[in-house]
Every structure is written in C-alpha cells, then in structure tokens.
C-alpha cells in the first residue's frame, strides 16, 4: 500500500536573461519547464534598471567583488528579461537540474545551458564579459522567496489547476 505523503508545491524564480531573448530561445526554454510538469504562476517582461539590478543582485558584489557585479549588471541591463515564477514539487531543485551548471561549458548535454551555450569562466575573465548562460534560477528556498517577492506582487501570482497536476501532484 502506498502511503499518502502530503507535500506542498514550492515556488521559484527563473529569469530568461537578455541573451536568451536575443537568441530567440525563450519558448524552447519555457517548454522544458512545462515538460517537467512545472506550472507557470507568474510571468512578466522587464528591463532591469540600475536600481532594480542592485536589489536583485544585492549580495553579489560582497560575495564576488565589484568587477563581477559591474559586468553582471551591464549584461543584465543590455536587454529585457522574462521573469517566471514556477510552481511544483521540488521546483527549486528541478529547475536547477533543468538549467544545468552556472558555467555552460560544465553543464551536461540535455540541460538548457549544456544544449544552448558553451561559455566558460575563463572566457568570461579573458573577455571581461559576463557569463552568457541564458537563465537565472533561484538557488535555495530562502533565495526563491526573496526573489519572487522582489519581482512579483501577490496580485501578480495566479492560482489555477493544470491537467498535469491530476497526475503529478
């Protein structure tokens, strides 16, 4: 007999970065999340100005230095991003598995970064450009909560049922 394990779905933030939009990959990337039975409960397109970039990457400069922050901020402000809130069981870990390693040259085939990019940390350092890795994905539950609240008001998040939920949740 299978035990009924009551588990609630979690939410996470995904950003399709300017390089994903410039390359016309948004639909193909979103499809991968939907194929994994993750539900889109919030979406918007936004240009990140310097103030909002600072709020999103509030600790990046402290963790990795001003040079990394400056390169990242410039990259994120070069075009619009699509912000998604995805919901599902183990959504944070599932999204991170789908997108692959931060450095695309280390991401396995079958992941977003492994299939659509090849940039490395060494190339980033040598060129002075940000790592063009197509997506940002929240790293843990605390980060996901902060990022979802930064990007979306409660009135911008939807609650609805999908057919996939009948079989997966």
Active-site residues, by number, are 136
Closest by alpha carbon to 102, among 125, 120, 128, 78? 120
CA dihedral 33, 136, 102, 91 (to 10 degrees): -40
Closest by alpha carbon to 47, among 75, 24, 76, 23? 76
Closest by alpha carbon to 91, among 35, 9, 7? 9
Tokens of 49: 């100005």
Contact in structure between 164 and 107 (CB atoms under 8 Å): no
Contact in structure between 16 and 32 (CB atoms under 8 Å): no
Q: Could you give the CA distance from residue 42 to residue 68 in angstroms, rounded to a whole number?
A: 29
The phi, psi pair for 33, rounded to 5°, reads -70, -45
């Amino acid at each position: 007999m299978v035990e009924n394990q009551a588990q609630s779905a979690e939410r996470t933030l995904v950003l399709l970065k300017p390089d994903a939009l410039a390359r016309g990959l948004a639909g193909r990337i979103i499809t991968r999340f939907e194929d994994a039975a993750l539900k889109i409960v919030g979406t918007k397109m936004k240009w990140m100005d310097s103030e909002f970039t600072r709020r999103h990457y509030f600790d990046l400069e402290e963790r990795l230095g001003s040079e990394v922050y400056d390169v990242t901020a410039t990259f994120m402000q070069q075009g619009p991003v699509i912000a998604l809130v995805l919901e599902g069981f183990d959504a944070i870990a599932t999204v991170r598995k789908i997108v692959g390693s931060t450095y695309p040259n280390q991401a396995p085939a079958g992941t977003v970064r492994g299939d659509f990019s090849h940039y490395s940390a060494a190339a980033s350092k040598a060129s002075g450009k940000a790592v063009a890795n197509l997506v940002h994905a929240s790293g843990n539950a605390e980060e996901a909560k902060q990022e979802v609240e930064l990007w979306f008001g409660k009135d911008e998040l939807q609650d609805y049922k999908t057919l996939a939920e009948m079989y997966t949740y």
